[in-house]
Amino acid sequence: MKKFLGIIFLFLLWSNIGSAEIILLECKYLDGEIRRFKDNYPQKKEPYSPYGQEVTEIRLDPAIEKLIKAPGFDHSVDVVLWSSDEIYWTYKFRLVSAFPSDTRYSLDRMTGILSVDTTNYRIYEGDPPIKRILWDAKYSYNCEKKERIF
């Protein structure tokens, strides 16, 4: 029995389960712009605001490099990359096959700036299929670490 308890104790000590810290970030909208396209050529730029998403949350565990909750992370995420300077993830929306969109997220670990870049396009059938960009939106959030109350 002593050996078994010793093995369990060493396992918990080595696995570092007790010191996992989940970080909660509250991100507030800063600014953004949208470009509309005609025949894949950019037209004028306009101010852009992600209506209903002025404030968003990110939960992550840096010890195991895992995103727990983030914008676009509730859906099918294609790529998640961690580096010493940023966390990067992508989301591809394919519900309507004629009008798909790609969204790229980049969280700067030094400044706390979350940059979002969304491209919406239309695919025309043919051989080969033709991809035409409809609009491209770029916007950013300022993220700050939020302390837990209890």
Q: If DSSP codes are grouped into helix, strand and coil, which group holds residue 121?
A: strand
Q: Which domain holds residue 115?
A: 23-145
* Predicted local confidence at residue 7, as pLDDT: 73
d(CA 58, CA 44): 32
* Predicted local confidence at residue 72, as pLDDT: 78
Tally of domains within the chain: 1
Q: Is residue 92 part of a domain?
A: yes
Q: Is residue 51 part of a domain?
A: yes
d(CA 143, CA 92): 23
pTM: predicted TM-score of the whole model, two decimal places: 0.77
Report the candidate in 98, 102, 50 with the shortest Cα–Cα distance to residue 75.
102
* Predicted local confidence at residue 1, as pLDDT: 75
Q: Is residue 67 part of a domain?
A: yes
Question: What does the pLDDT look like over 57-84, one tens digit per residue?
Answer: 999 988 888 888 888 776 666 788 999 9
